[in-house]
Each structure stands twice: as structure tokens, then as C-alpha cells.
């Protein structure tokens, strides 16, 4: 455990913090759940403002937080609810651009420290991209401290006008593979049998079916895999607005791809997978990349700064958006068991170098302490 002392042990009233989530992607939501548990254990009072469905999934209340349901929209009612939730806060910590913008609006006129964590870069095109840049500028200029999960995000915050931007330690809480009826590790075999891939390679992608995930590149690559013997099955775990469009193309072209929908057994899917695939080009801190390396599953991912910073040399990195490169890397790995073994070993080493949950909480708490040193004594 960290040696950072709790606020109450220093003679001060318990630190009162509000964590603000928007829609909450898997990475930021899991981070807030872990952060909440660690802060509460150190004597910090935590209120999580997030949509009700987020609390149902991540159980912030079970981690010791007060959960206040706040819709993800920036309408006046949502901002008013957030403003009321922050009324007694010593510090507010918002995660993601939209949640941060709502926090800025809610704290308008108040001298409450605002910490903002950027987990990924905001994505948009055309006029919406211009709007997002405006929101970014408003947020970083209002924030007391901006924490970025990659060096690129920290640099971006500084270029946008942040007065204090720092690299964040962010751990991904571990998810143990569920045990099957035959003991630990058998869940992978059960999943392979369920999917009918006892003799075929299983390639796994995980993430919402959104445009930025790169599923068009994945389907382009799958066209080449139709001619392998045996033909691999590509399983995509996730749900989203592109399901109809993707399924129509899979059917039209006879692609060996299964859209498996939202799955609660990602550890079991990883245990069953021969390769993990990250086709999207702008996921700087992918949950799948982290879970694949922890599980010892060889990963193919785009060669971008954020991904390289996360995985080092422990993955097969290919040019972003290059379907031929993705297809070729998978073919080579499936034919090279020694390379797959080497990636498993280097992946486990790389995962071991990431910050622990305890180190992450300690860093965040040190920032909180720095910004709230003049709070009243208890």
C-alpha cells in the first residue's frame, strides 16, 4: 500500500471530492471505479456524478462513493444537477472532454480546484471538430491541472493553453479470467467450443461499433483471411450504431467475422483467442491492448505514439489504417508460434511495468493535496 497519509490523519476534515463522468468509455469508467475505491480507503469522501447506467455497470456505490445520477447532456438541467452536487466539494475531478466541459459550467463563479483527466483525444470531423477544439480550449484554460494519459495528450493540452499539464499514472483494474467447470483457465476452452472454433484460429477485437474503431479496416483485412486454411474466425465483442452496416457487409462479402454483441466475458474471450486485434488508429490507451498483454495474448495494433508508449515492443505494430499490413501481420503470426510465444512473454513484462492501482491513487491524491492545502482543520 502507498504511504500517502489520509487527510483526516493530518488533523484536517476529510477531503470532499466529486468525480464527474460523461458517457464514460470503458477505460475512464474503470479508472474512476478503481480511483474511488482507493480514495475512500484513504479517508477521502467521494461523490461520483455519472449516468445511472454507469453506476449499474461499474458500481461506484459499492466502492464507497455517493452516486448522483447526472445525464450526459450539457442541458441546463444537467449542469444544475452537477452544480448542486459540487456545492460542498473541496475539489472536482472530471474525466473526458464532455464531462470536463459540464464541470466548467457547473463551477462557474466558484473558486474550487478542477482537475481534468484526458483519457483519449476527442474525435470529430468538419464543423463538429471545430466545436470540440473550442470546448478543449475552454476546458484547459479553466482547469487547475490537466492530467493526460499519454505524452501526446499532455503536449496537446499545453498547446491548447493549459497552465499545468502532467502525465497521469493510470492503471487498468485487473479482471481475473473466470474459472470454467474444469478449473482455472478452462473458460477459454468453453468459449472456443461455444463459438465453434475448436480447430480454427480465433482473432478477437473488442470495442463499441463506432466509426473511429477502425472496423472498416478490420473487414478489409478479413477478406484476405478467407483464403487461409483453416479460415480464422474474427470475433468482435461490442455493440453500437454501425452494427447494421457492418453486418450487411459481412453477409454480402462472406467474411469470416462474427459480431458477438456486448459481452461480459472478455477475460474468457481473451483466454480463447490466438490473437487480439486493435484496428482503430486513435485509441491512445486501449483497454483491449492492456488486457491482451496482461493475459499473454499476442496483439496487433496501430503504430501510433500513444499505442507505442503503452505497449513498447510487446506487440506487432502496423501502419494505421493499412488493411494489408494488418492482414499480413496476422498471417505471419499465425504461422510463427515462436514469435507468438515471444510476444506473450514481452507482453507480460510490459504489463508488469505499468503503474499499479495503488500508485495511480497515490499520484492523484498527491495532486489533490497540492491543490487543497489550505482546507480547514477538522
Which residue's C-alpha cell is 463563479?
A: 109
Q: Are strands 114-118 and 299-302 parallel, antiparallel or unpaired?
A: unpaired
CATH superfamily of 187-352: Glycogen Phosphorylase B; (3.40.50.2000)
- Residue 371 near residue 113 (C-beta atoms within 8 A): yes
Backbone angles phi, psi at 248, to 5 degrees: -60, -40
List every span in the chain annotated with CATH 3.40.50.2000. 7-171+355-371, 187-352
Exposure string over 109-127, b if 16+ CB within 10 A, otherwise e: eeebbbbbbbbbbbeeeee
User: CATH code for 7-171+355-371?
Assistant: 3.40.50.2000
Cell of 223: 477478406
- Distance between start and end Cα atoms, the chain: 25
Q: Indicate the pTM of the whole model.
A: 0.83
Measured between alpha carbons, how far is 308 from 306 in angstroms, rounded to an integer? Answer: 6
Q: What is the pLDDT along the chain (378 residues), one digit of tens a residue?
A: 444 445 544 556 899 999 999 866 677 888 899 999 999 999 999 999 998 888 888 999 999 999 999 887 767 788 999 999 999 999 999 998 989 999 999 999 999 999 999 987 666 667 778 888 899 999 999 999 999 988 989 999 999 999 999 998 888 766 544 444 444 456 688 899 888 888 899 999 998 898 888 999 999 999 999 999 999 999 999 999 999 999 999 999 999 999 999 998 899 999 999 999 999 876 667 889 999 999 999 999 999 888 998 999 999 999 999 999 999 999 999 999 999 999 999 999 999 999 899 999 999 999 999 999 865 544
Nearest of 155, 376, 164, 189 to residue 272 by alpha carbon: 189
Amino acid at each position: 500500500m502507498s504511504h500517502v497519509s489520509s487527510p483526516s490523519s493530518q488533523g484536517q476534515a476529510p477531503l470532499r471530492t466529486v468525480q464527474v463522468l460523461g458517457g464514460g468509455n470503458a477505460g475512464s469508467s474503470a479508472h474512476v471505479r478503481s480511483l474511488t475505491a482507493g480514495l475512500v480507503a484513504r479517508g477521502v469522501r467521494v461523490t461520483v456524478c455519472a449516468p445511472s447506467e454507469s453506476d449499474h455497470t461499474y458500481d461506484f456505490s459499492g466502492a464507497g462513493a455517493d452516486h448522483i445520477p447526472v445525464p450526459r447532456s450539457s442541458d441546463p438541467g444537467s449542469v444544475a444537477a452537477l452544480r448542486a452536487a459540487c456545492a460542498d466539494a473541496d475539489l472536482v475531478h472530471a474525466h473526458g472532454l464532455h464531462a470536463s466541459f459540464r464541470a466548467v459550467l457547473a463551477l462557474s463563479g466558484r473558486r474550487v480546484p478542477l482537475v481534468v483527466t484526458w483519457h483519449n483525444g476527442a474525435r470529430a470531423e468538419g464543423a463538429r471538430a471545430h466545436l470540440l477544439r473550442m470546448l478543449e480550449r475552454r476546458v484547459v484554460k479553466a482547469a487547475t491541472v490537466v492530467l493526460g494519459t499519454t505524452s501526446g495528450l499532455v503536449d496537446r493540452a499545453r498547446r491548447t493553453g493549459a497552465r499545468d499539464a502532467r502525465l497521469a499514472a493510470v492503471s487498468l483494474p485487473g479482471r481475473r479470467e473466470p474459472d470454467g467447470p474444469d478449473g482455472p483457465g478452462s473458460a477459454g476452452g468453453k468459449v472456443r467450443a461455444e463459438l465453434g472454433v475448436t480447430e480454427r484460429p480465433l482473432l478477437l477485437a473488442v470495442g463499441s461499433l463506432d466509426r473511429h474503431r477502425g472496423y472498416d479496416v478490420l473487414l478489409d483485412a478479413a477478406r484476405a483471411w478467407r483464403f487461409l486454411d483453416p479460415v480464422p474466425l474474427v470475433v468482435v465483442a461490442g455493440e453500437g450504431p454501425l452494427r447494421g452496416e457492418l453486418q450487411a457487409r459481412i453477409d454480402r462479402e462472406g467474411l469470416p467475422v462474427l459480431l458477438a454483441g456486448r459481452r461480459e466475458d472478455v477475460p474468457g474471450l481473451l483466454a480463447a483467442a490466438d490473437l487480439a486485434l486493435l484496428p482503430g488508429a486513435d485509441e491512445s490507451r486501449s483497454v483491449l491492448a492492456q488486457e491482451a498483454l496482461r493475459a499473454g495474448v499476442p496483439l496487433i495494433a496501430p503504430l501510433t505514439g500513444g499505442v507505442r508508449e503503452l505497449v513498447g515492443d510487446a506487440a506487432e505494430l502496423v501502419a494505421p489504417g493499412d488493411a494489408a499490413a494488418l492482414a499480413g501481420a496476422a498471417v505471419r503470426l499465425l504461422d510463427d508460434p515462436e514469435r507468438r510465444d515471444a510476444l506473450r512473454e514481452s507482453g507480460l513484462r510490459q504489463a508488469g511495468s505499468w503503474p499499479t492501482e495503488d500508485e495511480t491513487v497515490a499520484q492523484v491524491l498527491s495532486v489533490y493535496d497540492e491543490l487543497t492545502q489550505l482546507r480547514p482543520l477538522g
